[in-house]
Amino acid sequence: PLIKDVMVPVATIKVGFSVYEAAKKIIEDRFNHLPVVDEDKRLVGIVTSWDVSKALALSKDGDLAPIMTRNVITVSPEDPVDLAVRLLEKHNISALPVIDKDRKVLGIVTGEGLSKLISRGL
């Protein structure tokens, strides 16, 4: 299967929002991973519940931009699923935003989602 067969929609947050707003969105939308986008909806970073916890532990409850990961590992819809598996393993992460040529966020592939796929025998 290809990434487009297994990706799911994901909520994003605009850069300029706060750590607090990211925390609220993660809880409301029940996602662990929140891709961060600019005004043109292009991917500029990612924050996870781990990043938000770390920011609060260090008393950095301000802008999202300084705490987000800027070097985001991504896949495209036409990539094979086994590339996603390799990237998750190699970088010790649990999700990959799926982006198009303009870096617009199309969805997300998570380790959890891939486990479900494998358990169904794909």
Strand partners for 97:
108
Q: Which of 46, 81, 98, 105 binds ligand SAM (CB under 6 A)?
A: 46
**Residue 52 CA to its chain's centroid (Å):** 13
In terms of Cα–Cα distance, which of 116, 121, 109, 120 is closest to 10?
A: 109
For ligand SAM, which is the closer residue by CB, 49 or 117? 49
Rounded to a whole number of angstroms, the minimum distance from the CB of residue 62 to ligand SAM is: 17
Q: Which of 15, 65, 93, 117 binds ligand SAM (CB under 6 A)?
A: 93
Distance CA 65, CA 16 (A): 7
Residues 69-88 binding ligand SAM (CB under 6 A) are 69, 72-73
